Structure 1
Amino acid sequence: MNVSKEGIALPRQQAFQADTVLALTAGHLVHDTFASFLAPLLPLIIERLGLSMTLAGSLAAIQSLPSLINPFLGLLADRVSLRWFAILAPTITASAMSLIGIAPSYGVIVLLLLLAGFSSATWHVPTPVVIARASGRHVGRGMSVFMLGGELSRFSGPLLAVSAVTWWGLGGPVRLIPLGVLVSVLIYWRLQDVVARPIHRADDSWLAAWRDVRWVMGPVAGISLARAAMAACLGTFLPIFLSQQGATLWQAGSGLSVIGLAAALGALVGGALSDRIGRRKVVGFVLLAAPLLMLLFLSVKGWVIYPVLLLMGFIFMSTGPVLLALVQDNGNGHPATANGLYMALQFMGQSLVVILVGVIADRWGLPAAFRLSGFMPLLGLPFLLMLRRPRPVNLSGKE
């Protein structure tokens, strides 16, 4: 494979480049492990600062706010290298997220989350493009493996955060910052061999990129938004919900880890399955199953909650790599820009929805918010029907 340090995208190969995919998957795991520290620490932060559910939910939205620059980063990644951004992201994210437990005020937490959010954006925009190029004809499989790292962080992040706080107090996560630095060093070493020159097209602009992807971006963004409320409940608000049900900090964090482990397996299976039976069928099944899963979760008590969380995570979270693969299937020469647009739309929608869930929880309680969120994915079905077959990907620069 011809490589260069001057860019971030790889010419698509016919063969599946396992070494590249696995290296970035490992980086994804560690980066997102630190990025996921907020949810398991929220019960402690709420207690220490006396926050309402709306303010607590707003913290998750604030962490996602820098994703609004994703289209800018995507367009930049289609033109120049974002190599150093990707290399430094694990260190920056680890540092910012490890400090939120000892931040003296809500305002300081906001600043730390904005820094972590910007760092996360610079990681998540260019790296899926590398994965897509390195996956050859198996984009769904490549995205599944890459997303496996991110989804496993839902398992490792809560356990690591809760363990650090239990052993060393609220300042304990600070001791973990060297792990992020080590990963940055390893990624620097690995990207010397895998980063290649970006692919340019004659009409390299946002307008050209939008013309290529607008027909798929609207439906995919609609589906993502329909999933957002239930995703917020199963992510940001799950530890708080379990704590209100009498769970200890360890039990609440374990619930988040259980659903994260199941989500990782679901992401791995979902993307590969979509390569075989089609992306629309996988997404459609999940949207229809969501209300039943949430009603089942709310109807059980005690230890039975954990097997149900396994089932919910495996099924509901399996659509992540499928939606990413849909976007990359139709990037048509502007893969990073398309990914940046999708990530911005996704995170903007999720940020608004997580605040809305907090408002509902403050007014009617978390159980009501969870129940309502379970039916929201059904609103994604009309958008699913709007999706057509993927257009051929043109990497030649010619129309």
Structure 2
Amino acid sequence: MDSPKSKFKTLEIFLLSLAHFVHDVYTAFLSPLLPLLMDKLSLSLTRGGSLAAVMQLPSLINPLLGLLADRVNLKYFVVFAPAFTAIFMSLIGLAPNYLILLFMLFMAGISVAVFHVPAPVLIARMAGSRKGLAMSFFMVGGELARTVGPIIAVTLVAMRGLDGFWPIMFAGIATSGILFWRLRNVDLSIHKSTKNLALSRTFINLKHIFLPLAGIIAARSFMHGVLTTFLPTYIKTQSGNLWLAGLALSVLEAAGVVGVLIAGPLSDFLGRQKTLAISLIGAPVFILLFLESSGIWQFLALIGCGATLLSTTPVMLALVQEHAKESPATANGIFMMLSFVFRSSIVIFIGFLADRLGLHTTYFISALVGMLGIPFLFFLPKKSN
């Protein structure tokens, strides 16, 4: 039986999921605007990929943020991150050159890091025994943001131009204000353990989780990078239509919302390992179908890509949290670092491949590499300790 403190705290989970939605709307601006930014600043696909990578570079400090979050209350980091991310991401259209754009994205990346490390741990501690369900709610906020974010971005650019959509930042600032007002008296302490484990000790204690997850994340990052970063560029290259490019990304992310809603609760019932297997087998197949089909079939394949590929994160988060008994935030920081480092480095490599082989061939290669994550599933524990 769960204690009263471990009950599912619906209101707080909803507010933090809402914050996740607003925050990630702004981070979703980069991919649909990438073709325009590349044209404006005369960037290659390799440099275009580096824009997404530099935004994820601050993830290197995620374990340190997690270590800090296990010792002090980082509630206000989560509260104010939507405002800071909104400011920097709303200004990228004004960047006069490549270096200034890199700086803006790096600063946004710092804000992303200080939000995404403590927030899932807060969610897990407010979920009781239903961590998979709570992680699905939280991740729906992020996936839904990446669904509407591209539409918001291309609509605003069509209305106001690349350098005129900056006033959208005020929505993020207002969200942080609302969160501050509603959560100022709410105790969102993450962990109050007298055992302050070292970063290395946390990794050693959870290496049976992190090592196979690293293999899964690396393989998944090829599929994730080529779809979420370069899908608008791929569609625009094929069709010449920026609206269609933004719509394709929104369809992908909308399917991800459905996948996330299903995957978290399903993993509570079926098990984390089996749920991840469904996703990791399905995603490469749907990517290959997307490449070899057209019309409505290509549209349906894209839905399959989103539903399978984007549904793995809440399952992996729940897996980490249910095994991290003594240092949950540190464990989440290590997981987030692994995820972001693989994604940021691989997306540059994907851009390098695309410059030389073309995006179509790069998609094909990424799907094949994605299949290499399947054997790592057998090394994951089937149940928590």
Q: TM-score, normalised by structure 2?
A: 0.96
Q: 1:212 corresponds to which letter in structure 2?
A: N
Contact 1:12 1:134 in 2 (8 A): no
- Identity over the aligned pairs, expressed in percent? 43
List gaps (5 residues or longer) in structure 2: none
Paired residues of 2:320 and 2:332 also in contact (CA < 8 A): yes
Aligned to 1:252: 245
Matched to 2:59, the amino acid is: S
The corresponding residue for 1:140 is 132
Q: Which amino acid is the alignment partner of residue 216 of structure 1?
A: I
Q: Secondary structure at the match of 1:172?
A: coil
**Separation in 2 of the partners of 1:99 and 1:127?**
25
- Tell me which of 228, 244, 257 is aligned to 1:264: 257
- Is residue 321 of structure 1 aligned with residue 314 of structure 2? yes
- Cα deviation for residue 16 of structure 1 reads 1.4
The answer to whether the aligner puts 1:205 opposite 2:198 as a matched pair is: yes
Which amino acid letter does the alignment assign opposite residue 347 of structure 1? F
Of the three residues 376, 385, 394, the one matched with 2:378 is 385
Whether the 8 Å CA contact 2:147–2:251 is kept in 1: the answer is yes
Q: CA deviation at 1:295?
A: 1.3
Q: Counterpart of 2:129 in 1: which secondary structure?
A: coil
Seen in structure 2, the aligned counterparts of structure 1 residues 12 and 116 have a Cα distance that, compared at 3 Å, is farther
**1:127 aligned residue:** 119
8 Å Cα contact 1:212/1:332 also seen in 2: no
> Which stretch of the first structure deviates more once superposed, 280-289 or 141-150?
280-289
Alpha-carbon distance in 1 for matches of 2:296, 2:282: 22
> One-letter code of the match for 1:147?
M
Which of 117, 120, 123 aligns to 2:109? It is 117
1:27 to 3, 14, 19: 19
Amino acid of the residue matched to residue 108 of structure 1?
I
TM-superposed deviation, 1:82: 1.5
The 1:306/1:194 distance shift into structure 2, 3 A limit, reads farther
Structure 2 CA distance for aligned equivalents of residues 390 and 109 of structure 1: 45
SS at 1:200 equivalent: coil
Determine which of 196, 211, 214 is the counterpart of 1:218. 211
* Structure 1: unaligned runs, 5 residues or longer: 1-10, 393-399
- Residue number in structure 2 paired with 1:96: 88
* TM-score relative to the length of structure 1: 0.93
Distance in 1 between residues matched to 2:239 and 2:196, nearest whole Å: 58
- The 5-angstrom pairing of residues 1-399 of structure 1 reads 13-197=5-189, 198-392=191-385
What SS class does the counterpart of residue 325 from structure 2 fall into? coil
Distance 1:158 1:224, change over 3 A: same
Tell me by how many angstroms 1:49 deviates.
1.2
Q: State how many pairs are aligned.
A: 382
Q: Aligned equivalents of 1:303 and 1:105: distance in 2? A: 39
Classify 1:275/1:165 alpha carbon distance in 2 versus 1 (closer, same or farther; 3 Å). same
The one-letter code of the counterpart of 2:246 is G
Deviations 1:11-62 (A, max 9, x none): 9944211111111000000000001110000010111111111000011000
Matched position secondary structure for 1:388: coil
